[in-house]
Amino acid sequence: MRAIIRVTTNLPDDRLDDLLRSYGWLSRLSDQAFIERKKNEILESVHPDDLPIVRDTLFSYTLLHDPTKTWGIVNRPVDNLITFRLKNPIPDRLKAATEKLVRDLQDFAKREKKIVFDFEKIEVLEPQGFMHAFAGEVMPRNRLSLAIKRRRTEWLVGEAAFIVSVILLTMTFPGIRESLFVASTVWTEWVMGFLERLSTSAIVTATVSWLNVVLYWFELRRQDVVVWEA
Protein backbone atom coordinates (compact mmCIF):
# COMPACT_ATOMS: atom_id res chain seq x y z
CA MET A 1 0.00 0.00 0.00
CA ARG A 2 1.12 3.57 -0.65
CA ALA A 3 0.48 6.75 1.26
CA ILE A 4 0.74 10.10 -0.50
CA ILE A 5 1.39 13.05 1.83
CA ARG A 6 1.26 16.46 0.13
CA VAL A 7 2.50 19.43 2.14
CA THR A 8 2.40 23.10 1.21
CA THR A 9 5.50 24.67 2.77
CA ASN A 10 8.13 27.39 2.54
CA LEU A 11 10.88 25.00 3.65
CA PRO A 12 14.06 25.36 1.55
CA ASP A 13 15.46 22.22 -0.09
CA ASP A 14 18.62 22.18 2.03
CA ARG A 15 16.58 22.41 5.24
CA LEU A 16 14.49 19.42 4.16
CA ASP A 17 17.63 17.33 4.03
CA ASP A 18 18.60 18.46 7.54
CA LEU A 19 15.07 17.81 8.81
CA LEU A 20 14.88 14.25 7.50
CA ARG A 21 18.38 13.44 8.72
CA SER A 22 17.79 14.82 12.22
CA TYR A 23 14.54 12.85 12.63
CA GLY A 24 16.07 9.59 11.40
CA TRP A 25 14.45 9.21 8.00
CA LEU A 26 17.62 8.81 5.90
CA SER A 27 19.01 5.30 5.70
CA ARG A 28 22.65 4.55 6.56
CA LEU A 29 22.65 1.36 4.46
CA SER A 30 25.73 0.99 2.28
CA ASP A 31 24.01 -1.30 -0.24
CA GLN A 32 23.11 1.33 -2.82
CA ALA A 33 21.72 -1.28 -5.21
CA PHE A 34 19.20 -2.40 -2.59
CA ILE A 35 18.18 1.20 -1.85
CA GLU A 36 17.83 1.93 -5.56
CA ARG A 37 15.61 -1.12 -5.95
CA LYS A 38 13.32 0.08 -3.14
CA LYS A 39 13.10 3.53 -4.74
CA ASN A 40 12.22 2.03 -8.12
CA GLU A 41 9.51 -0.11 -6.53
CA ILE A 42 7.82 3.04 -5.32
CA LEU A 43 8.29 4.81 -8.64
CA GLU A 44 6.67 1.87 -10.42
CA SER A 45 3.56 2.40 -8.30
CA VAL A 46 3.21 6.09 -9.25
CA HIS A 47 0.35 6.90 -11.60
CA PRO A 48 1.59 7.18 -15.22
CA ASP A 49 0.27 10.73 -15.49
CA ASP A 50 2.34 11.78 -12.47
CA LEU A 51 5.44 9.71 -13.13
CA PRO A 52 7.31 12.16 -15.44
CA ILE A 53 6.92 15.00 -12.95
CA VAL A 54 7.87 12.81 -10.00
CA ARG A 55 11.00 11.50 -11.72
CA ASP A 56 12.09 14.96 -12.82
CA THR A 57 11.59 16.59 -9.40
CA LEU A 58 12.72 13.67 -7.23
CA PHE A 59 15.18 14.22 -4.40
CA SER A 60 18.23 11.97 -4.47
CA TYR A 61 17.68 10.31 -1.09
CA THR A 62 15.34 7.43 -0.20
CA LEU A 63 13.41 7.48 3.08
CA LEU A 64 13.31 4.62 5.56
CA HIS A 65 11.26 4.29 8.74
CA ASP A 66 13.12 1.34 10.21
CA PRO A 67 10.67 0.30 13.00
CA THR A 68 7.95 -0.39 10.41
CA LYS A 69 10.27 -1.12 7.45
CA THR A 70 8.48 1.56 5.45
CA TRP A 71 10.32 3.02 2.46
CA GLY A 72 9.62 6.35 0.82
CA ILE A 73 10.58 8.94 -1.75
CA VAL A 74 10.22 12.72 -1.85
CA ASN A 75 9.68 15.09 -4.76
CA ARG A 76 8.93 18.80 -5.12
CA PRO A 77 6.79 19.46 -8.23
CA VAL A 78 6.49 23.21 -7.48
CA ASP A 79 8.31 25.58 -5.15
CA ASN A 80 5.70 25.57 -2.38
CA LEU A 81 4.69 21.88 -2.46
CA ILE A 82 6.52 18.78 -1.25
CA THR A 83 5.12 15.29 -1.81
CA PHE A 84 6.11 12.29 0.29
CA ARG A 85 5.28 8.79 -0.94
CA LEU A 86 5.56 5.98 1.60
CA LYS A 87 5.11 2.28 0.82
CA ASN A 88 4.40 -0.67 3.07
CA PRO A 89 2.22 -3.74 2.37
CA ILE A 90 0.84 -3.75 5.92
CA PRO A 91 -1.75 -0.97 6.51
CA ASP A 92 -1.07 -0.54 10.24
CA ARG A 93 2.66 -0.16 9.67
CA LEU A 94 2.03 2.32 6.86
CA LYS A 95 -0.24 4.33 9.14
CA ALA A 96 2.38 4.32 11.92
CA ALA A 97 5.11 5.55 9.57
CA THR A 98 2.84 8.23 8.12
CA GLU A 99 1.90 9.47 11.58
CA LYS A 100 5.58 9.58 12.57
CA LEU A 101 6.40 11.68 9.50
CA VAL A 102 3.55 14.11 10.21
CA ARG A 103 4.59 14.48 13.86
CA ASP A 104 8.20 15.12 12.84
CA LEU A 105 7.20 17.84 10.38
CA GLN A 106 4.90 19.50 12.90
CA ASP A 107 7.57 19.33 15.60
CA PHE A 108 10.09 20.92 13.26
CA ALA A 109 7.64 23.71 12.39
CA LYS A 110 7.07 24.32 16.09
CA ARG A 111 10.81 24.78 16.66
CA GLU A 112 11.38 26.80 13.50
CA LYS A 113 8.76 29.53 13.84
CA LYS A 114 9.11 30.79 10.26
CA ILE A 115 8.57 27.36 8.70
CA VAL A 116 5.00 26.44 7.76
CA PHE A 117 3.54 23.03 6.88
CA ASP A 118 -0.01 22.90 5.55
CA PHE A 119 -1.13 19.31 4.98
CA GLU A 120 -3.62 18.19 2.38
CA LYS A 121 -5.74 15.11 3.01
CA ILE A 122 -3.52 12.03 2.97
CA GLU A 123 -4.30 9.47 0.25
CA VAL A 124 -3.71 5.78 0.78
CA LEU A 125 -3.92 3.63 -2.35
CA GLU A 126 -4.64 -0.06 -2.79
CA PRO A 127 -1.65 -2.44 -3.06
CA GLN A 128 -2.33 -3.03 -6.74
CA GLY A 129 -3.74 -0.21 -8.84
CA PHE A 130 -4.67 3.37 -8.08
CA MET A 131 -7.96 2.97 -6.18
CA HIS A 132 -8.23 4.74 -2.84
CA ALA A 133 -8.17 2.39 0.14
CA PHE A 134 -8.70 5.08 2.78
CA ALA A 135 -7.69 8.64 3.61
CA GLY A 136 -6.34 10.56 6.56
CA GLU A 137 -6.95 14.06 7.90
CA VAL A 138 -3.97 15.66 9.60
CA MET A 139 -4.84 17.30 12.91
CA PRO A 140 -3.08 20.61 13.64
CA ARG A 141 -0.95 21.04 16.75
CA ASN A 142 -3.22 23.87 17.89
CA ARG A 143 -6.40 21.91 18.52
CA LEU A 144 -8.11 24.84 20.25
CA SER A 145 -8.12 26.93 17.07
CA LEU A 146 -9.57 23.95 15.21
CA ALA A 147 -12.28 23.53 17.86
CA ILE A 148 -13.21 27.22 17.58
CA LYS A 149 -13.26 26.97 13.78
CA ARG A 150 -15.51 23.90 13.77
CA ARG A 151 -17.76 25.23 16.54
CA ARG A 152 -17.84 28.77 15.19
CA THR A 153 -21.54 29.32 15.92
CA GLU A 154 -21.28 28.34 19.58
CA TRP A 155 -18.16 30.49 19.97
CA LEU A 156 -19.85 33.56 18.45
CA VAL A 157 -22.99 33.04 20.53
CA GLY A 158 -20.80 32.89 23.64
CA GLU A 159 -19.01 36.10 22.66
CA ALA A 160 -22.29 37.94 21.97
CA ALA A 161 -23.88 36.70 25.20
CA PHE A 162 -20.81 37.69 27.23
CA ILE A 163 -20.79 41.23 25.77
CA VAL A 164 -24.51 41.61 26.49
CA SER A 165 -24.05 40.37 30.05
CA VAL A 166 -21.24 42.88 30.68
CA ILE A 167 -23.33 45.76 29.35
CA LEU A 168 -26.41 44.80 31.40
CA LEU A 169 -24.40 44.25 34.58
CA THR A 170 -22.71 47.62 34.11
CA MET A 171 -26.12 49.30 33.90
CA THR A 172 -27.03 47.87 37.33
CA PHE A 173 -23.94 49.26 39.11
CA PRO A 174 -24.96 51.73 41.85
CA GLY A 175 -23.31 54.82 40.36
CA ILE A 176 -24.48 54.15 36.81
CA ARG A 177 -27.92 53.11 38.02
CA GLU A 178 -28.51 56.51 39.67
CA SER A 179 -27.37 58.34 36.55
CA LEU A 180 -29.82 56.40 34.39
CA PHE A 181 -32.76 56.68 36.77
CA VAL A 182 -32.82 59.92 38.73
CA ALA A 183 -35.81 58.97 40.84
CA SER A 184 -36.25 55.53 42.36
CA THR A 185 -39.73 54.18 41.65
CA VAL A 186 -41.46 50.83 41.58
CA TRP A 187 -40.86 50.67 37.83
CA THR A 188 -37.20 51.48 38.35
CA GLU A 189 -36.81 48.52 40.69
CA TRP A 190 -38.67 46.27 38.25
CA VAL A 191 -36.45 47.33 35.34
CA MET A 192 -33.30 46.82 37.41
CA GLY A 193 -34.46 43.38 38.49
CA PHE A 194 -35.28 42.48 34.90
CA LEU A 195 -31.85 43.62 33.72
CA GLU A 196 -30.14 41.60 36.45
CA ARG A 197 -32.06 38.45 35.49
CA LEU A 198 -31.35 39.09 31.82
CA SER A 199 -27.62 39.53 32.47
CA THR A 200 -27.58 36.30 34.50
CA SER A 201 -29.24 34.47 31.59
CA ALA A 202 -26.66 35.94 29.21
CA ILE A 203 -23.81 34.75 31.45
CA VAL A 204 -25.30 31.24 31.53
CA THR A 205 -25.67 31.26 27.73
CA ALA A 206 -22.06 32.37 27.27
CA THR A 207 -20.82 29.74 29.72
CA VAL A 208 -22.75 26.90 28.09
CA SER A 209 -21.72 27.94 24.56
CA TRP A 210 -18.03 28.21 25.43
CA LEU A 211 -18.20 25.02 27.48
CA ASN A 212 -19.37 23.14 24.38
CA VAL A 213 -16.33 24.44 22.51
CA VAL A 214 -13.98 23.50 25.36
CA LEU A 215 -15.43 19.98 25.62
CA TYR A 216 -15.01 19.55 21.87
CA TRP A 217 -11.41 20.78 22.25
CA PHE A 218 -10.79 18.08 24.88
CA GLU A 219 -12.20 15.52 22.44
CA LEU A 220 -9.87 16.73 19.67
CA ARG A 221 -6.86 16.56 21.99
CA ARG A 222 -7.49 12.83 22.51
CA GLN A 223 -7.33 12.14 18.77
CA ASP A 224 -4.17 10.98 17.04
CA VAL A 225 -2.13 13.26 14.80
CA VAL A 226 -3.89 11.67 11.78
CA VAL A 227 -7.57 10.76 11.80
CA TRP A 228 -8.07 7.88 9.37
CA GLU A 229 -11.33 7.52 7.48
CA ALA A 230 -12.65 5.09 4.88
**What's the residue count for the chain?**
230
pLDDT digits (tens, 9 = 90+) for 12-69: 998 999 999 999 999 888 888 999 999 999 999 898 899 999 999 999 889 999 999 9
Which residue from 148, 152, 197, 147 is spatially nearest to 171, judged by alpha carbons? Answer: 197
Compute how many other C-beta atoms are within 10 angstroms of the C-beta atom of residue 39: 19
Q: Of 85, 115, 138, which one is at a domain's C-terminal end?
A: 138
Q: Of 138, 164, 182, which one is at a domain's C-terminal end?
A: 138
* 66 and 127 co-located in one domain: yes
Residue 230 lies in a domain: no
Residue 49's alpha-carbon distances to 54, 82, 125, 185, in angstroms, are: 10, 18, 16, 82
pLDDT digits (tens, 9 = 90+) for 81-137: 999 999 999 999 999 999 999 999 999 999 888 899 999 999 999 877 778 889 999
Task: Please tell me the predicted confidence (pLDDT) of residue 195.
Answer: 78
Which one-letter amino acid corresponds to residue 9? T
